[in-house]
Amino acid sequence: MKRRTFNKLAALALMAGVAGGPALAEDVLKVGAVAPKTGPLAGGAAVTYWPNVKLWVETVNARGGLTVDGKQMKLEVIEYDDQTNPGETIKAVQRLIDQDGARIVLPPYSTGLNLAAAPIYHRYGIPMITSTATTDKADEISSKFPNVFITLGGAKPIVQGAVEVLSKLRDRGDIGNKLAMVNVADAFGIELANEAKPAFQAAGFELVYESSYPLGTQDLSPVMKAAKAAGPDAFVAWSYPPDTFALTEQAVVEDLQVGAFFTAVATAFPAYAARFGDSIDGVLGIGGVHADGQDFQDYAKRHEEVTGAKPDFWASATVYATFQVLEQSIEAVGLDNAKILDHIKGNSFDTVIGALEFDEHNNNPSFWTVGQWQDGLFKGVASTGREGAVEVLKKGAWK
């Protein structure tokens, strides 16, 4: 009898020990993440956003957890699909804070969803270090929502970068001044095209073809045929992922011979290189990274090891870098949101994209604007003050 009681007690103690170890409530820090898993932007989020959430949580937990006020806390992530719908993003943030007890909420994905969710992050006082939003209105946003930070840059500097790169090619005699420009008829494409048109004209380029096409257009061959018929020396498209693929394919099929070929979102995606292989050597695109830098290469290697997928050559590293900013701030000042915000504003952070520091408008002033595929890597060729830019090359024939 006695022995049985002892055994029972021992078993109970063992169970308590197993259950009470790492799973004790106060040792776990709940992290909320909300971004598209379905809807029009799901494809982009699957490349750029979600793998980084996994990589960050696994990296932090592998070294024992996040150090909060001297105590090691393991991260536990709660993921919500916002279906690319701003209303769902806002609801998910509320649910994460009010019901799930998340102490950290990561920023959402894409310009539109970030801007739509900024007020709710502001109401809860959560630091929102955006990493996939491009906007020129950082000063306006930061005066209204001082908890919002912009990391990826804005339309104006990106257009400036594209103009600089093309001007350089023209001044070197690699291309003439005839430019064909198209854009997807969506907030992103329209804003950039409206910025770019006067900027290219001011730089002395002649717009020989200009057009927009609706989002989700299934056949872009009329667009590419017309662009080719105009006999341009350079082609620029402010495009979204499916059309970036379609325009490139049509350019190959039509054998569009230009010295500069620029497409926007998804040019930096690994799937782009996987699809077109060597034929994209010399293709220019939005974004870029310091591809030869040790920081990026280490990051890309771990990204592939942990998530089984390669990062893209633009926003992926930026997404991870903003998680690092949050991580370093929490380790420095604890979980008090007001203190975290002060810390982010007042410090420079060591991240996978290099030093990251915000100006008085909560804006990261130095980011990549244009990259180019060279020898299988998408290397940054223009930035607003990032190190490691390589010389831009003239695009040869499609292979």
Partner 1 sequence: MDVIITGLLLGGTYALIAMGLNLQYGMARIMNLANGEMLVAGAFAAFWFWTGGQISPLLTVFLVAPAAFLLNWLVYVVFLRPLVRRARSRGQLEVDSILTTFGLSFVAVGLMLALFGGDYFSYSYLSVPVHIFSSTYGANRIAAFAAAVVICGALWLWLNRSRAGMTIRAIAVAPDSARLVGIDVMRMAAFAFALGGAVTATGGALISTFLTLDASTGGLFTLKALVIVIMGGVGDVRGTVVAALLLGLLETFVATVIDPGLTLAAAYLVFIIVLLVRPQGLFGRSTS
211 binds partner 1, rule: CB under 8 A: yes
State the minimum distance, in angstroms, from the CB of residue 308 to partner 1: 9
State the minimum distance, in angstroms, from the CB of residue 210 to partner 1: 10
* Size of site (CB under 8 A) for partner 1: 43
CB–CB of 159/382 below 8 Å?
no
User: Running DSSP on this structure, what letter comes out for residue 261?
Assistant: E
C-beta atoms surrounding 112 within 10 Å:
17
Tokens of 361: 């408008």
By three-state DSSP, how is residue 354 classified? strand
Q: Of 270, 221, 212, 216, which Cα lies nearest the Cα of 248?
A: 221
- Specify the residue, 39 or 334, whose C-beta has the smaller distance to partner 1: 39
State the minimum distance, in angstroms, from the CB of residue 277 to partner 1: 7
Mark the segment that binds partner 1 (CB under 8 A) among 21-29, 66-74, 237-245, 285-293: 237-245
Tokens of 364: 């990261």
Single out the residue of 179, 223, 317, 393 in contact with partner 1 (rule: CB under 8 A): 223
187 binds partner 1, rule: CB under 8 A: no
Three-state SS annotation for 191-251: HHHHHHHHHHHHCCCEEEEEEEEECCCCCCHHHHHHHHHCCCCEEEEECCHHHHHHHHHHH
Mark the segment that binds partner 1 (CB under 8 A) among 136-144, 248-256, 316-324, 374-382: 248-256
- Specify the residue, 128 or 265, whose C-beta has the smaller distance to partner 1: 265
State the minimum distance, in angstroms, from the CB of residue 81 to partner 1: 9
88 binds partner 1, rule: CB under 8 A: no
**Beta strands across the sheet bearing 104-105:** 66-68, 71-81, 28-35, 104-105
Tokens of 231: 């006999």
- Specify the residue, 226 or 332, whose C-beta has the smaller distance to partner 1: 226
Pick out residues in 27-86 that bind partner 1 (CB under 8 A): 37-40, 42-43, 45-47, 50
Mark the segment that binds partner 1 (CB under 8 A) among 15-23, 239-247, 323-331, 366-374: 239-247
Single out the residue of 125, 216, 231, 385 in contact with partner 1 (rule: CB under 8 A): 216
Widest distance between CA atoms in the chain: 97
Pick out residues in 307-346 that bind partner 1 (CB under 8 A): 309
Quote the strand ranges of the chain, DSSP E: 28-35, 66-68, 71-81, 104-105, 128-130, 148-150, 178-185, 206-214, 234-238, 260-263, 284-286, 348-351, 354-357, 368-374, 377-383
Rounded to whole angstroms, the Cα distance separating 241 from 314 reads: 13
- Specify the residue, 163 or 236, whose C-beta has the smaller distance to partner 1: 236
- Specify the residue, 46 or 306, whose C-beta has the smaller distance to partner 1: 46
- Specify the residue, 147 or 183, whose C-beta has the smaller distance to partner 1: 183
- Specify the residue, 204 or 216, whose C-beta has the smaller distance to partner 1: 216
Single out the residue of 8, 144, 172, 225 in contact with partner 1 (rule: CB under 8 A): 225
Measured in residues, the chain has a length of: 399
Rounded to whole angstroms, the Cα distance separating 386 from 62 reads: 30
176 binds partner 1, rule: CB under 8 A: no
278 binds partner 1, rule: CB under 8 A: no
Residues that bind partner 1 (CB under 8 A): 37-40, 42-43, 45-47, 50, 182, 185, 211-214, 216-219, 221-223, 225-226, 241-242, 245-246, 249-250, 252-255, 266, 269, 271, 274-277, 309
